[in-house]
Amino acid sequence: MKRVGIRSKIILLTLLILSGGFFVAPEVLEGVAEVRYRRTLEDGRANLVEALEKDYKELNLRNTPRSGDYFVFIYDKQSGKLIREYSFFPPRLIDDYNLAKNKFANENDLNFIKTESVDKKVSIVIGFNESTPKNAVKGLERFFVLSYLLASIFVVLGILISTEIALRPVSRSIKKISKFDPLNKMEKLDDVKSNDEIGKLISTFNSLLEKVHISSISQKQFISNASHELKTPLTSLKLQIEKLKKQNNTDEKTLVGIEEDVIEIQSIIEALLILETSTKGGGTDGEILLNELIKKTIKDTNVDFKNNLEIIVDSNQEILKLMLNNLIGNAEKFKANKVIISTEIVDKAPSIIIEDDGVGIHPENYDLIFTPFWQEDESRTRNVGGKGLGLSIVKNIVSKYGWKITVGKSDLGGAKFIVSF
């Protein structure tokens, strides 16, 4: 169920409930209809009793509403005989009534009232059989089933329409979010004029976007300021080391060690500056033939290029070259013998594939390798150097242009990086 969308989940649950109700609802409807029909019979009988008490001779029972549901017996009080001309017996009850004995087969099923006329000359018996409402409703079984199915269709359609309307702001927001770049500029979702859960979600997300942007600005500002502030004392240290080297009474080995540390710190600062500015580049974006840029980048190297597909990307040449240098340089550092670059269609997208035959990357670290300064264990990083910033720079560039980068295991045995455009 995790991969099923919210609309599908709602519809599936609704259909599940409705299908369960299919076995219950028609019976409930039948029961309700039967009770209501019985009440209608009782109300009609009361009216009929009142009319017969007033004038039993003039009342035409065959024109009485629901006459087919009632039996009416008028007896002469003096002789006790049935007056047939004023009495009425519905045809549907003939099978249950014994005319000779003037009795019903099962009198327990009868629901009747005994009374007398206003002139006190006749006795009146009026009623109906208890099976009458049940038999009348039986014919409506198919109607109840069709009504339930029709109502279910309307319910499902109503849910589809209501969820579409309710989730429309979410769909618009998703499309807009995919184009956001909160690390470089402040953007917000359109506010929804409602105080429901969706309105609160969009408001909370806008607040989060603002915090991310502010955090990004602060981080970049810190890196830039710290890098520039450190450059001055490092330059001064280098000058002092040069001065000490000219003196005869200084330890040459100690000075060399200090100088190497200073150079290392300077290289880290430069890498941090590149990370901070990696998505800016110089010049403007334009169409670039990636294949030609790859050829220039790997010139005078042992990298094998399988030019299977011509790829043109809309990018900045400096930025694209920086990305290629870092990916190829990373593969070169960790290879055993060879690095292969190829251009292919991957998941319907033009892509470059860079793979090596080194020790590879542990699957649990696939996401971590793009974190600044993060490096895997010694089995992969020994004797190769690096600051752990190259892949972070690549990730920044890929994110800027909305491309996609994935990492996995190569058939060569090492790591495989795929950048899809």
Task: Provide the pLDDT confidence category of residue 70 given band limits of 50, 70 and 90.
Answer: confident
Using left for φ > 0, alpha for ψ between -120 and 50, and beta otherwise, residue 388 falls in: left
User: For position 349, what pLDDT does the model report?
Assistant: 94
Task: Provide the pLDDT confidence category of residue 382 given band limits of 50, 70 and 90.
Answer: very low
Task: Provide the pLDDT confidence category of residue 3 given band limits of 50, 70 and 90.
Answer: low
pLDDT > 50? residue 202: yes
More confident residue, 283 or 413: 413
pLDDT > 50? residue 251: yes
What are the backbone angles phi and psi of residue 188, rounded to the nearest 5°?
-135, 160
User: For position 227, what pLDDT does the model report?
Assistant: 65
pTM: 0.46
d(CA 207, CA 175): 18
Mean pLDDT for 153-181 is: 80
d(CA 85, CA 65): 19
pLDDT > 50? residue 240: yes
List the beta bridge partners of residue 344: 351
CATH number for the domain whose boundaries are 197-277: 1.10.287.130
- The segment with the largest mean pLDDT, out of 34-48, 158-172, 224-238, 244-258, is 34-48
Mean pLDDT for 42-56 is: 89
Give me 404's structure tokens. 């996609």
Fold (topology level) of 286-420: Heat Shock Protein 90 (3.30.565)
> What does each C-alpha distance from 384 to 331, 376, 388 come to in angstroms?
11, 12, 11
Q: Which amino acid is at 238?
A: K
Mean pLDDT for 300-328 is: 90
Using left for φ > 0, alpha for ψ between -120 and 50, and beta otherwise, residue 251 falls in: beta
Question: What is the DSSP code (8-state) at residue 93?
Answer: G
**Mean of per-residue pLDDT scores for the chain:** 80
More confident residue, 272 or 242: 242
d(CA 102, CA 89): 11
User: For position 383, what pLDDT does the model report?
Assistant: 46
Least confident segment among 8-17, 157-166, 212-221: 212-221
Q: Which amino acid is at 343?
A: T
More confident residue, 109 or 275: 109
pLDDT > 80? residue 216: no
d(CA 193, CA 333): 55
Ranges of each domain in the chain? 1-177, 197-277, 286-420
Give percent of the chain with pLDDT exceeding 70: 79
Taking residue 23's Cβ as centre, other Cβ atoms within 10 Å add up to 8
Mean pLDDT for 330-355 is: 93
